[in-house]
Amino acid sequence: MNTDVSDFEQQLTAWRHDLHRRPETAFEEKDTSNYIAAVLTEMGLEVHRGIGGTGVIASLTAGNGPGVIGIRADMDALNLTEEAQHAYSSLNPGKMHACGHDGHMAMVMGAARLLTQRQHFNGTVRFIFQPAEEPGKGALAMLRDGLLERFPVDEIYGLHNMPGMPAGSFATRSGGIMASEDNFVIRIKGQGAHAARPHTSKDPLVIASEIIIALQTIISRNLEPGVPAVISCTELHTDGIRNAIPTRVEIKGDTRSYTPEVQLLLEERMRTISTAICGMNGAECTFEYTHEFAPTVNRAECVEWAVKAARNVAGDNCVDRNVRTMMISEDFGVFLQHIPGCFAFIGNGDDAEGSGNIPLHSSGYDFNDRILKRGAEYFAELIRIRLPG
């Protein structure tokens, strides 16, 4: 393989653009899986497919060291229509890589190429390409499919681009870095009536409004200040019409937190408040609460290795080792419940760098090609220092 830097950057960009053109959503990543498997097979890696549905595992061993390090990339896209027009814009209507998973895959494939060429480590690297990160189902699917039994891993590392951070900078922290996500549905059955005769109703919209306001007191009056948690009501559906008070109202939303104890408190208080307010107003209540994403909790010793690797490739001034916790969620957290590891962010660009600052999950978002090489070098350096030759 050509080791010229410009050739490497062009290859990373070509991979990313190819993947961007053909976005596929959760557990449908068949073309994506085929593409990744073909690239890694051509490099000479041992490739296994169909792990957790469409997941791909590739292994590379150098020397006889016993250590095994996992590097993970997510594969799925989102059900969004791409707004920006590029030569590599999505060819799949209504789907786009709006979270940068195309860039994450390209960086991990780039790390595989660098490590294949350099062979400057002693041990085994697992390149883990995970499906269905967006709905929070893919990591568990891979684990249930025997990922760790079939392909043992001592530690695992991941990287996500972050708009708003300077391009190519890094950020991470020990302990919790991203929150859990739990979903809830509150169904209220009251009594509908003509809008002109509200006194004959048991108005579920008024009841729903009381519940939504009351839920906000859980954070402010049940949790110690400084404990991170969020309750967000995001959808309100009724069976009413303009001149008819509805009979049924459905409230949907999610909560974010960092510990099982807080998750349980939120669930119990939400159920109590919803049921009590409905009962007080003579309405029926059904409450559902489901756990979707685990919190992402970094292991302190793994953070040290990640910070060292990031500083080696980007310099001390481009690494934040104590970034503020975020209430967004990541399926990587499930892996960290089973094996130690570290998740970090790489800057996609800030205000001074134009499109790199467009938010994730936006129809105008695009991954910044200029950070591909740095991300690949970060992973390769992490392996070099973690599995020294």
Q: Tell me: the pLDDT tens digits for 84-120?
A: 899 999 999 999 999 999 999 999 999 999 999 999 9
Q: Which of 173, 16, 188, 21 is nearest to 107 (CA)?
A: 16
Alpha-carbon distance of 108 to 40, in angstroms, equals: 10
Alpha-carbon distance of 325 to 347, in angstroms, equals: 16
Tokens of 4: 């010229």
Task: Quote the pLDDT of residue 351.
Answer: 73
Task: Quote the pLDDT of residue 2.
Answer: 41
Q: Which of 179, 193, 57 is nearest to 125 (CA)?
A: 57
Q: Does domain 5-177+295-386 have CATH number 3.40.630.10?
A: yes
Task: Quote the pLDDT of residue 352.
Answer: 64
Alpha-carbon distance of 212 to 192, in angstroms, equals: 20
Please give the distance of CA 94 from its chain centroid, rounded to a whole number.
20
Q: Tell me: the pLDDT tens digits for 167-226?
A: 999 999 999 999 999 999 999 999 999 999 999 999 999 999 999 999 999 999 999 999
Are 294 and 184 a contacting pair, CB within 8 Å? no
Alpha-carbon distance of 27 to 75, in angstroms, equals: 9
> Residue 302: phi, psi to the nearest 5?
-75, -35
Question: Where do the structural domains in the chain lie, given as residue ranges?
Answer: 5-177+295-386, 180-293
Q: Which of 11, 69, 65, 63 is nearest to 42 (CA)?
A: 11
Q: What is the pLDDT along the chain (389 residues), one digit of tens a residue?
A: 344 668 999 999 999 999 999 999 999 999 999 999 999 999 999 999 999 999 999 999 999 999 999 999 999 999 999 998 999 999 999 999 999 999 999 999 999 999 999 999 999 999 999 999 999 999 999 999 999 999 999 999 999 999 999 999 999 999 999 999 999 999 999 999 999 999 999 999 999 999 999 999 999 999 999 999 999 999 999 999 999 999 999 999 999 999 999 999 999 999 999 999 999 999 999 999 999 999 999 999 999 999 999 999 999 999 999 999 999 999 999 999 999 999 999 999 997 666 788 999 999 999 999 999 999 999 999 999 999 98
The DSSP code sequence of 115-127 is HHHH--BSEEEEE
Which positions make up the binding site for Mn(2+)? 99, 101, 134, 160, 361
Task: Quote the pLDDT of residue 354.
Answer: 65
Tell the burial category of 200 from Cβ atoms under 10 Å away from its Cβ (0-12, 13-18, 19+).
exposed
> Residue 235: phi, psi to the nearest 5?
-140, 145
Quote the Cα angle for 157-159-165, to 5°: 145
Alpha-carbon distance of 50 to 30, in angstroms, equals: 9
Which positions make up the binding site? 99, 101, 134, 160, 361
**Among 3.30.70.240, 3.40.50.300, 3.30.70.360, 3.40.50.850, what is the CATH number of 180-293?**
3.30.70.360
> Residue 321: phi, psi to the nearest 5?
-95, 5
Are 172 and 321 a contacting pair, CB within 8 Å? yes
Task: Quote the pLDDT of residue 311.
Answer: 98
Are 133 and 76 a contacting pair, CB within 8 Å? yes
Task: Quote the pLDDT of residue 338.
Answer: 98
